[in-house]
Structure 1
Amino acid sequence: MEKKEASNKTSAGGNVPGMQLNRTLTDLNINSEKQTEASSKDAPVDFETAMNVAGFGTFNILLLISALPAAMATVLETSVVSYILPSAECDLKLTLIDKGLLNGITYVGMITSAILWGYVADTKGRKKLLITGYLTNIISILGAACSQNVIQLMVFKFISGFIMCGPFAVLMSYLSELHGKKYRSRIVMLLGLMFSLGNILLPVVALGVLPSHWDFQILGLQFHSWQIFLALSTIPCLLGGALLSFFPESPKFLMSQGRNAEALRIFQRIYAMNNRKPREDYPIKELINEQSSSEKTSDDASTVSIATIEESIPKEKETVKPKLPIKEKKPKLSLRQGLQQLRPLLRKPYLGLSLQVYLINFAILLGQNTLRLWMPQMFASIEEYEQRHGTEDATMCTILEYSVNKTQSQITQTAINKCEVIITAASYTNNITVAITSCVGYLLAGFVINRIGSKMLLAICSIIAGLCAIGLYFSISALSTLIIISVSVSVGSISAMSVISSSVDLFPTSLRTMIVSLAMMFGRTGSILGNILFPIFMSLGCIPPFIMLAFVMFSAGIMSAFLPSTRKTVLK
């Protein structure tokens, strides 16, 4: 009995250490799991994760509201001249070629500064360029409003184009980089909607100003209603530059530059505004380092070289001026950085893809901007023709022939045959209809793009625009012309925005603004070429200008079929 009791005690006592060991192991497992969770929470995250956690809310809505006048300023800059051509025809003694050059001169300025602005935005940041660009452009707009002849007007419009190229490309990148992939495609389409609102605003203002026939002098300068109209286009630039100054730099850009602490503070700010919580509640504490080792090496080398120069200055004080080496070295570093930024676009894997984007944008904007910028002149000619001849059955070919003959007769004006232009409110109502149609088109595209993707939307809209160009040749009335132009301009604008949307997704942050700038440079080259060729083809006959428009839009649709799909692509 004593042995059994002893053995029972021993066995009972032997279980105590075993139970304690199990409990200890369990506690260790729990602690390790907690540590793993804590470490996973504190682990560095990428841009998409940080932006998704920040959410979508008050910050984003205020940003889009502030971006509205900025987007409108871009539209006004490229379109405002097309609305003054009928009014300024006599004052500036414009020929058909003059009208084409005035429509395209802004794009010439944009082309000359495309690479410059792309480099500045991708190396120095988005925000400063936006604010500086919009506010500086006010000066050139006022200069254009004071122009007394066609040469002065062309010079100031060239300067405006040079300045506005930067903000136009950067605004797209800036908005895309302040939204997660869930909203990014829609944001680009929403930007297109803002452009459409600008296209609505433009004819509405023209409706109230241009038919007034104002004529007065200030300091020996003659002013007319079309110059007042030009001066009013400074307002969106002023609002856009002022409102965007309240928003932060792109966190994606900061992460690409290795400035993660600044980017994290911006994510915290967005999170706090969207969720109405303190910034400290933002759960992410660290961001991944997006700088490649080559960039770090380059930066370290640059730092060392500059430090070496600075250290050598005291030793050379007796024989060499101290600041001279630094002044000589900085431009070389900037030039080298600019060339290095272009290098990835000139070799695989981006060479073929970038060339494809350039050609598509060239074709789309050649067709789209040619029709869009000649549209006010065409509608004004339709209205004038109907008033003079008392008929509403004006075919497109009849209108083109009338417009060509009328412009040629204005050049050879005499005291008896005085230059006269009929401008009424009805001349701009059709433009408002087209702008509203484009606005509705962008709304529909915003819902469709996430389902079919930018690539498919681009192909479909380009083909429809090509069919509309053919339909214009067969148009038999002012109403049918209005319907066809409305559809063509709407789908053409969506095609242009789809190219940009695809470009944003296909290329990394370090190349994004550069690729958009270069793509727009090729597109603007197409715009210039189209606006010069269109009046030349008009003088040759009715069918050549419409064949040109149909050909380029069909070409863009075919080329877009070979682009990689960008549906729900993570931002690089």
Structure 2
Amino acid sequence: MTSKNSVSFEEALNKTGFGKFNILAFLVSLSLIMGMALEVVSVAYLVPASACELHTTTAQQGLMAGAPLLGIIATSHCQGYLADTRGRRKVLGWSMCVAFLCGACAALATNWIVFCVLKIMSSAALAGTIPLSISWLSECTPQHKRSMMVSLTSTMYLITTGTMELSCLSLIYLKYNLLRYHNCISVLALPVLQLEFSYYIPYLNIYFSSWRLLNLIFASGCAVAAMAIFSSYESPRYYLRMGKDEDALEVLREIFTLNTGKKAKDYEVTSVYLGEDTGVPTKGMFSSIMAQTIPLLKPPLLKNTILISVMFVIAYAGTNAFVVWLPFIADSIMKAKEKGEDMSFCEMLESTQNTTVTESTDCSLNSFALLTVFVSSMLIAVVNIVLSAVINYVGRKRMVIGVQLIAGIAGLCISGANSWILSTCCFIVYLMGTVNFGFISTFSVDVFPTYVKAMAVCLTLMVGRVSSFVGINVIKNLLTTNCQVAFYSFAALTFVGAFVATLLPNDVKRSKGSTDAVST
């Protein structure tokens, strides 16, 4: 009887169904990503708000804003190793706790150096949040719904950062007393930053004011995420990889009960096997780290490691770098339009920069431009939801290729269009290439075996993040000196991404009436 009901993990997971548990797991993943986004991205808004009290210079503010990137790059590899050897749920939970403590303590920073150190520590704890959360979610989701659920997680990051952009808009309105449109911007920062209070803390010799309270609010997202993940189950796939077959089976029974409403004894599976390479057991931390890393750098995994890393490099260095400078681009376009001159998209960017450098002393951002950034972020989030809903019908490989091609064509048209409005529309379409972050991630969680999966996702993302630093600096310089080269060259890079995507593994589907996986 046991032999008859001994099935592979994928089949056992499919037998649990898709329902209440999967929705809750998805919400947990969203809370993790939201907590990470609130804490990491918050520096962009806390830095200017704290400038007066901390007496920071422009250079110091730049270091404060860049602090999270240092923490994320420094610990990505370590987080992948810990998740593969200690468990996804445990690492995610404790990482969120550490991030909350460090992030909350930043609200009591006595100077900008302490603020930087605490933000580096909190971001270091959050380095693996996105890759680990999608790994955990994928290992708890049946294969036929996996790509859709994983790709949808990108929506939460887009919505969170977009909402924070609107919060930044409210900060700028408050700072420059531009409250004519206050009804449109009352979201998060507005009701907090307009509070007029200041409590002196003698032991620290600081004043607890509104920006410190806002810092606590941003950090609280990590606390909520920690409670959510600790209330969930560990990945049954991880349990199997660690040889804890009974624990894995118990989790599968609980998932079955939540999804179907039936009793655990009605779950037909009595024995489950992983059906993949589980790696070679090692002793010692260094040997263990090497055992988790080396398989990714040699056949048969090397090809997928390179392909997915290249895709993330193209996505981060190209499309994502433009997203970072979206407020600057939108601000330049709106300020150029205020002059009433008939100029092309690139001429607007270059003329605004020249004016800023030679004539203007106003460094504030155009309020309508920031509202445009928020709308663009929400639009991309909606597109991500739509594409995620149809990915199983189109195929994720075709989806990635199609998005890259459309984004590349739009990128070529930006500087070539005669109308700045048409160029702006093309630019927004180009930015929609960011939806491929989620789709590329679906390959990561499928093509790597469980024992190196978290490490693989963390490493490939880390490579992309490092390239993002280069892309951000190159694009900023090109936008203000040779705008056309910026769009043509990075559009060409997007086409390269479409070609590389053709080399990605084929989609895996299930034939009707069968539980065996077949390649399309």
Shift of residue 263, structure 1, vs aligned partner: 0.8
Match of 1:355 in 2: 306
Match of 1:45 in 2: 7
Shift of residue 147, structure 1, vs aligned partner: 6.5
3-state secondary structure, aligned to 2:6 = coil
Does 2:216 match 1:274? no
Match of 1:338 in 2: 289
State which of 136, 150, 159 in structure 1 corresponds to 2:98: 136
Please identify, of 101-110 and 195-204, the stretch whose mean Cα deviation from structure 2 is larger: 101-110
Residue type at the aligned position of 2:448: F
Q: In the TM superposition, what are the counterparts of 1:103-142 in structure 2 within 5 Å? A: 105-142=67-104
Match of 1:63 in 2: 25
Does 2:384 match 1:456? no
Q: In the TM superposition, what are the counterparts of 1:482-561 in structure 2 within 5 Å? A: 482-490=424-432, 492-561=433-502
Q: In 2 relative to 1, CA 397–228 (structure 1 residues): closer, same or farther, beyond 3 Å?
A: farther
Contact 2:400 2:436 in 1 (8 A): yes
Does 2:378 match 1:436? yes
Q: In the TM superposition, what are the counterparts of 1:162-561 in structure 2 within 5 Å? A: 162-213=124-175, 219=200, 221=206, 230-288=215-273, 295=280, 298=281, 333-386=284-337, 389=339, 391=340, 395-405=344-354, 408=357, 420-423=362-365, 425-474=367-416, 479-490=421-432, 492-561=433-502
Higher helix residue share: 1
Q: In 2 relative to 1, CA 380–437 (structure 1 residues): closer, same or farther, beyond 3 Å?
A: same
Contact 1:258 1:289 in 2 (8 A): no
Q: In 2 relative to 1, CA 283–367 (structure 1 residues): closer, same or farther, beyond 3 Å?
A: same
Q: In 2 relative to 1, CA 438–145 (structure 1 residues): closer, same or farther, beyond 3 Å?
A: farther
3-state secondary structure, aligned to 2:509 = coil
Contact 1:83 1:377 in 2 (8 A): no
What are the superposed Cα offsets for residues 238-275 of structure 1, whole Å, 9 maximum, x if unpaired? 22222221100000111111111111111111111111
3-state secondary structure, aligned to 1:202 = helix
What are the superposed Cα offsets for residues 266-299 of structure 1, whole Å, 9 maximum, x if unpaired? 111111111112222222112126586874xx47
Please identify, of 549-558 and 202-211, the stretch whose mean Cα deviation from structure 2 is larger: 202-211
Residue type at the aligned position of 1:163: A
Shift of residue 353, structure 1, vs aligned partner: 2.4
Please identify, of 212-221 and 396-405, the stretch whose mean Cα deviation from structure 2 is larger: 212-221
Please identify, of 143-152 and 554-563, the stretch whose mean Cα deviation from structure 2 is larger: 143-152
Residue type at the aligned position of 1:288: Y
Shift of residue 187, structure 1, vs aligned partner: 0.8
Q: In 2 relative to 1, CA 289–470 (structure 1 residues): closer, same or farther, beyond 3 Å?
A: closer
Partners of 2:22 and 2:96 in 1: CA distance: 21
What are the superposed Cα offsets for residues 36-70 of structure 1, whole Å, 9 maximum, x if unpaired? xx4564x3211111111111111111222232222
Shift of residue 163, structure 1, vs aligned partner: 1.8
Q: In 2 relative to 1, CA 392–176 (structure 1 residues): closer, same or farther, beyond 3 Å?
A: farther
Q: In 2 relative to 1, CA 103–264 (structure 1 residues): closer, same or farther, beyond 3 Å?
A: same
3-state secondary structure, aligned to 2:76 = helix
Partners of 2:213 and 2:320 in 1: CA distance: 24
Residue type at the aligned position of 2:220: I
Determine what percentage of the aligned residue pairs are the same residue: 25
3-state secondary structure, aligned to 1:568 = strand
Shift of residue 429, structure 1, vs aligned partner: 1.6
Please identify, of 467-476 and 113-122, the stretch whose mean Cα deviation from structure 2 is larger: 467-476
Shift of residue 223, structure 1, vs aligned partner: 8.4
What are the superposed Cα offsets for residues 420-460 of structure 1, whole Å, 9 maximum, x if unpaired? 44456524221222122112211221133213322222122
Please identify, of 75-84 and 241-250, the stretch whose mean Cα deviation from structure 2 is larger: 75-84
Partners of 2:466 and 2:348 in 1: CA distance: 27
Partners of 1:484 and 1:347 in 2: CA distance: 41
Residue type at the aligned position of 2:237: K
Partners of 1:405 and 1:229 in 2: CA distance: 35
Partners of 2:244 and 2:465 in 1: CA distance: 34
Higher Rg of the two aligned structures = 1
Shift of residue 487, structure 1, vs aligned partner: 1.8
Residue type at the aligned position of 2:498: G
Partners of 1:546 and 1:470 in 2: CA distance: 7
Residue type at the aligned position of 2:77: I
Gap runs ≥5 in structure 2:
176-192, 511-516
3-state secondary structure, aligned to 2:309 = helix
State which of 48, 52, 72 in structure 1 corresponds to 2:34: 72
Contact 1:140 1:156 in 2 (8 A): yes
RMSD between aligned residues: 3.4
Gap runs ≥5 in structure 1:
1-37, 303-332, 411-416
Shift of residue 373, structure 1, vs aligned partner: 1.0
Match of 1:94 in 2: 58
TM-score normalised by length of structure 1 = 0.76
3-state secondary structure, aligned to 1:45 = strand
Q: In 2 relative to 1, CA 476–289 (structure 1 residues): closer, same or farther, beyond 3 Å?
A: closer
3-state secondary structure, aligned to 1:55 = coil
Partners of 2:299 and 2:263 in 1: CA distance: 46
Contact 1:57 1:273 in 2 (8 A): yes
Partners of 1:422 and 1:342 in 2: CA distance: 46
What are the superposed Cα offsets for residues 119-165 of structure 1, whole Å, 9 maximum, x if unpaired? 00011000111112223222443455666887666555433432211
Contact 2:444 2:456 in 1 (8 A): yes
What are the superposed Cα offsets for residues 195-228 of structure 1, whole Å, 9 maximum, x if unpaired? 2322332234334444222587654658897776
Residue type at the aligned position of 1:455: K
Partners of 1:459 and 1:218 in 2: CA distance: 55
Partners of 2:262 and 2:246 in 1: CA distance: 20
Aligned length: 487
What are the superposed Cα offsets for residues 292-339 of structure 1, whole Å, 9 maximum, x if unpaired? 6874xx47xx6xxxxxxxxxxxxxxxxxxxxxxxxxxxxxx1221111
Q: In 2 relative to 1, CA 110–237 (structure 1 residues): closer, same or farther, beyond 3 Å?
A: same
Q: In 2 relative to 1, CA 47–111 (structure 1 residues): closer, same or farther, beyond 3 Å?
A: same
Q: In 2 relative to 1, CA 561–365 (structure 1 residues): closer, same or farther, beyond 3 Å?
A: same
3-state secondary structure, aligned to 1:54 = coil
Partners of 2:302 and 2:165 in 1: CA distance: 41
